[in-house]
């Protein structure tokens, strides 16, 4: 394991003013998003859409790294080069989603456990040879009647830590993603309790598995009320609960934290990230940035609609959201930026 290389990659991903773009939707998830907009669910359309994203002019000014799905990793851009090469040309570090998805957890109705450890060592070696510099694994924690259970949290965090150890062995920086879902009508306090348990268990497991935290990035959920909760807390309350939780559970040696958006609106995801960077400026030991999928891509996807004629418009929308989140990462986002889309 080359620790210096891991630390360099992690620091490059967390560079000031930039964040990550998650464009690693699995085929079923990507198809679901396409279907909602009447876009045909084909490998070629998925390729064309990813081509649109990767060739957006100036994207590398705001995006340090992009996470790909296996299918995209093996496809080529319109220019006939691999997506890995196209990202590198754009100044963006290529990464890969390596988990095999969250599956129903046996004996625990309503809960999921993420699969993908079997054969992971050889898959990581292949991705590293193809040019990936980092990887991602997502665990899903659901809030509901009597859940999450400690068994679900422990099972998922154990898998995340074993994945992280294998990544570092292969020279890839592991992004560890314990996602407490927004689904439900619970209050923010319940999300806070579940997020605390998950982060606590995760760092316990990472320690046990001898993972070098200098070469790890945490991708957490923000601490939010459920989507269906009648009381929606304001931006400052979300910022304080989220960073308070991180300060309590995330070791200072970690290079950075990059949030998932989880179904928040694009504007709220920018507002909340910005508020955290304003309110805790100079008081956080790690970089605090984004690793959004929907909150960066959704407006662009809705404009594209699978039509070549809409590509330029969609790319402008993508560039705009990347710029908004780059500002948020520095605590400089404001609502006026939403009117600056040219």
List interacting residues with ligand 13P (CB under 6 A): 22, 138, 177, 260-262, 292-295
Beta bridge partners of 104: 112
Q: Which residues of 232-245 are buried (b: 16+ CB within 10 A; e: fewer)?
A: ebeeebbbbbbbeb
Nearer to ligand 13P, 249 or 321 (CB): 321
Cβ of residue 81: shortest distance to ligand 13P, in angstroms?
24
Nearer to ligand 13P, 83 or 292 (CB): 292
The encoded tokens of residue 342 equal 């040219």
- Which of 25, 111, 177, 179 is flagged as catalytic? 177
Nearer to ligand 13P, 138 or 249 (CB): 138
- Which of 219, 267, 281, 338 is flagged as catalytic? 219
Known active-site residue 196: no
Cβ of residue 84: shortest distance to ligand 13P, in angstroms?
18
Nearer to ligand 13P, 186 or 219 (CB): 219
Given a contact cutoff of 8 angstroms between Cβ atoms, the answer to whether 286 and 13 are in contact is no
Beta bridge partners of 102: 114
Q: Which of 159, 176, 165, 167 is nearest to 132 (CA)?
A: 167
Terminal-residue alpha carbon distance, the chain:
46
Known active-site residue 18: no
State the pairing for strand pair 112-114/102-104. antiparallel
Cβ of residue 262: shortest distance to ligand 13P, in angstroms?
4
Q: Which of 85, 44, 10 is nearest to 257 (CA)?
A: 10
CA distances to 28, 126, 134 from 120, rounded to whole Å, are 21, 10, 14
Cβ of residue 181: shortest distance to ligand 13P, in angstroms?
10
Nearer to ligand 13P, 202 or 336 (CB): 202
Cβ of residue 295: shortest distance to ligand 13P, in angstroms?
5
Residues annotated as part of the active site: 177, 219
């Amino acid at each position: 394991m080359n620790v210096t290389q891991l630390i360099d990659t992690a620091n490059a991903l967390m560079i000031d003013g930039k964040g990550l773009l998650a464009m690693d939707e699995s085929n079923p998830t990507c198809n679901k998003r396409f279907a909602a907009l009447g876009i045909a669910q084909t490998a070629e359309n998925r390729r064309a859409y990813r081509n649109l994203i990767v060739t957006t002019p100036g994207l590398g000014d705001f995006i340090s790294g992009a996470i790909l799905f296996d299918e995209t990793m093996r496809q080529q851009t319109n220019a006939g080069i691999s997506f890995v090469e196209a990202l590198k040309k754009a100044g963006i570090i290529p990464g890969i989603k390596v988990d095999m998805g969250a599956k129903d957890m046996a004996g625990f109705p309503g809960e999921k456990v993420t699969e993908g450890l079997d054969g992971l060592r050889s898959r990581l070696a292949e991705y590293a040879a193809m040019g990936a510099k980092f990887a991602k694994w997502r665990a899903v924690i659901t809030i509901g009647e009597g859940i999450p259970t400690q068994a679900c949290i422990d099972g998922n965090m154990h898998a995340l830590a074993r994945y992280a150890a294998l990544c570092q062995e292969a020279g890839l920086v592991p992004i560890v993603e314990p996602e407490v879902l927004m689904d439900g009508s619970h209050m923010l306090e319940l999300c806070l309790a579940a997020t605390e348990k998950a982060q606590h268990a995760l760092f316990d497991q990472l320690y046990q598995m001898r993972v070098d935290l200098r070469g790890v990035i945490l991708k957490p959920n923000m601490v939010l009320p459920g989507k269906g909760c009648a009381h929606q807390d304001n931006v400052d309350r979300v910022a304080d609960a989220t960073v308070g939780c991180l300060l309590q559970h995330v070791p200072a040696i970690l290079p950075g934290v990059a949030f998932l958006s989880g179904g928040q609106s694009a504007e709220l995801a920018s507002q909340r990230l910005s508020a955290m960077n304003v309110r805790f400026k100079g008081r956080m030991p790690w970089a605090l940035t984004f690793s959004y999928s929907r909150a960066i891509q959704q407006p662009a996807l809705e404009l594209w609609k699978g039509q070549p004629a809409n590509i330029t418009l969609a790319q402008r929308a993508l560039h705009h959201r990347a710029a908004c989140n780059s500002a948020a990462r520095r605590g400089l986002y404001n609502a006026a930026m939403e009117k600056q889309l040219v």
